[in-house]
Structure 1
Amino acid sequence: MLINADFLCRAELATEHYQWVPSPQSGVERVMLDRVGAEKARATSIVRYALESNFPHHLHPGGEEILVLSGTFSADSSDYPAGWYLRNPPTSGHQPYSHEGAVIFVKLWQMTADEIHHVAIDTNDAVNWQVQGGRDICHLYSDAREQVSLQRINAGEVLFADKITGGAELLVIEGALIEAERNYQRGGWIRLPVDAASEIVAGVNGATVYLKTGHLS
């Protein structure tokens, strides 16, 4: 299966165009944002867990990155309410479930083999935020290949001041982003290729954005 599989091209999906499709597990649906492969794929998705839904224990040979968007996502014996960011390194495994239901942003098979540490960050905790260049930023992960953060963008502020040398991917967490005549509300997703130019700005109420850069170079 190939969905937005040419990473030299821009890809995007506004929330109003979501198409929820069933996963192999009852009670779990997903919106496929990009995908290369069948069920075991390099994939970026929005995943929705119904009340009392679960997946059996499984491994993630290529690693897994998760941002909890709503509800409470659980794995093994740990609960992660909305706002938690998780990285499960290659070869790790877990049994995910949700008692109350949850929506999560998930990236699979997108880590290098030398990433070995689990990451769990509560982005609701003010101690994890800092002011950098006049912008509130919550740093989530960084290595030589990619940088991941949540960023709060003021109303009318340009998201990218320069060309995006290593490519970028973003998901609107709160507020809205505007580009020309297009408006991306909460849940809107954009992937910009290497050296793309962008005039994306925050809407009238600002925006909080998940931002990953460098990973497409």
Structure 2
Amino acid sequence: MSINADFRQRAVVRPEEAAWTPSPTPGVEGLPLDRCGAHGACATSLVRFAPGAALARRRREDGEEAFVIEGAFTDGDGEHRQGAYLRDPRGSSHEPSSETGCLLYVKRWRFEPADAEPVSIEADAGEWRKAGEGFAIKSLHHFDGVTTFLVRLDPGASVTRMLHPDGEEMLVVSGACSDGARDYSALTWIRDPGGHAQSLSSRDGCTLFVKTGHVGAAAKEAERLGD
């Protein structure tokens, strides 16, 4: 099943307009954002664990990254609280669970073979760098032209910039923002093929999870996988 699999097109998913789908494991459900390939080789989702829910240990042949939006998540190597960022490279395995319940943003896609270092960044780690009046950036990961970072807009702040020519993906983690034509509430997901100017503002402040430089490669991978 394909979902928003044409990476040449802009895609927006608002949480109030999408449906949560129960998984075969009780207490775990997902809200799919994009998916390509017959077995979901490329997939982006919001995943929710009820308190006490757990999945069996699983192996990721291609790689997976996750951001903890709410609650606390355990992957078998430790507990990761709200604001943590995790990367499991090709061939790694983990045993996901949550004692208290959590909400995750999860991307499963084909990591480059050389991109083999696991990453675990907790919310209180890393430095917020001021990038302009009223907004700051925290770097999470960079490899071969693909960059992942958090953006924090202060109340009343605005920023105008060129989107990456190889596309960008953004999740509104908290708060709300606007591009002048549309408003985006918390948990809204936006994928853009890039290469044009974008203006964002936030009346009350917001935090964004942003990934750049990967959409063009994802489009080629989706075409290769087909359905």
Per the normalisation by structure 1, the TM-score is 0.92
1:120 pairs with 2:120: yes
Other-structure match for 1:32: 32
User: What's the counterpart of residue 66 of structure 1?
Assistant: 66
Counterpart check, 1:191 vs 2:191? yes
Deviation of 1:157 after TM superposition, in Å, equals: 4.2
Q: Following TM superposition, by how much is the alpha carbon of 1:20 offset from its aligned partner in structure 2, in angstroms? A: 0.2
TM-score, normalised via structure 2 length: 0.88
Contact 2:47 2:104 survives alignment (8 Å): yes
What pairs up with 1:93-132 in 2 under 5 angstroms? 93-125=93-125, 127-132=126-131
What is residue 204 of structure 1 aligned with on the other side? 203
Number of residue pairs the alignment of both structures matches? 215
The equivalent of 1:213 in structure 2 is 212
Quote the Cα distance in structure 1 between the aligned partners of 2:34 and 2:119: 23
* Alignment of 1:170 onto 2:178: no
The one-letter code sitting in structure 1 at the alignment partner of 2:83 is: G
d(CA) in 1 for partners of 2:185, 2:110: 26
Instruction: Determine the C-alpha separation between the residues in 2 that align with 1:196 and 1:7.
Output: 16
Contact 2:176–2:206, Cα closer than 8 Å, also in 1: yes
Cα deviations by residue, 1:188-208 (Å, 9 ceiling, x for unpaired): 110000324433x22211221
After the TM superposition, which residues 40-51 of structure 1 pair with which residues of structure 2 at under 5 Å, given as runs?
40-51=40-51
Moved more, 174-183 or 104-113: 174-183
C-alpha distance in 2 between matches for 1:163 and 1:78: 36
SS at match of 1:53: coil
Deviates more, 1:160-169 or 1:45-54: 160-169
Deviations 1:70-118 (A, max 9, x none): 0111011410111100011111001110111110000002421211111
Q: State the Cα distance separating 1:32 from its structure 2 match.
A: 0.2
Is 2:158–2:202's contact at 8 Å kept on the other side of the alignment? no
- Judge conservation of contact 1:137–1:151 (CA < 8 Å) in 2: yes
Deviation at residue 36 of structure 1 after TM alignment? 0.8
- Distance in 2 between residues matched to 1:94 and 1:205, nearest whole Å: 37
Identity, % of aligned pairs? 35
Structure 2 residue identity aligned to 1:204: R
CA contact (8 A) 1:165 1:214 kept: yes
- The alignment partner of 2:16 has SS state of helix
* Cα deviation, residue 68, structure 1: 0.2
Task: Compare 62-71 and 106-115 and name the one that shifted more.
Answer: 106-115
Structure 1: how far apart are the matches of 2:107 and 2:171? 12
The alpha carbon displacement at 1:147 in A equals 0.5
State the distance in 1 between where 2:103 and 2:38 align.
22
Secondary structure, counterpart of 1:80 in structure 2: strand
